[in-house]
Amino acid sequence: MAAAKAGDRAAFECLVVACQSRILRWLTRLTQDRAVAEELLQESLFKAFVSLASFRGEAAFATWLARIAHNTFLAWNKTNRRRPDQESLTDEVVASDAGLVDWPSFSESPETLLWQHELSDSLAKAMAELPETLSQALTLREQDGLSYEEIAQIQEVPIGTVRSRIHRARESLSLTLKELMEPA
């Protein structure tokens, strides 16, 4: 950390390697556009490198970098004012980022595969319909495995707010799944 703060790019790269792919996946989910996510990541890394001297070490480096990426995304989102359509996502993004689609085994019936695909689509659409603050908190917790404290630092809110957001997001998704599970 000391070498990176002194301007050593190699030391900074060592710090970034551990968290770069997770932040890119998260930005891709937020923007639903890999190219935009890569640009936002590069901008975030530049901002982090330039302001590395101000890093106080109160949070983990990955959390600090995620906070910078979050602010960069918010600025981009304010300028672009778009909430992408779920239908505009490629199957690859939905499969890799939603974590719900696996390669089918030969023992699965076509009905089971169809039901799994419909469930995956419905869950992805339900996530897209959640308010951004709720979906971000849930994504950071469930897909990225961050602690409530780390999420609170990234979103700059109290831990109680994070708990509430995750709870409300889970409740909403639970209702969606319940509707899917009820016989027609």
Write down the pLDDT at residue 84: 45
Which among 83, 115, 77, 119 has a CA at the least distance from the CA of 98? 119
pLDDT in tens, 5-44: 777 788 888 888 888 888 898 888 888 889 999 999 999 9
- Give this prediction's pTM: 0.55
What average pLDDT is seen over the chain? 78
Second CATH level (architecture) for the domain 1-84: Orthogonal Bundle (1.10)
User: Which ranges in the chain belong to alpha helices (H)?
Assistant: 2-5, 9-31, 34-50, 61-80, 91-98, 110-129, 132-142, 148-155, 159-181
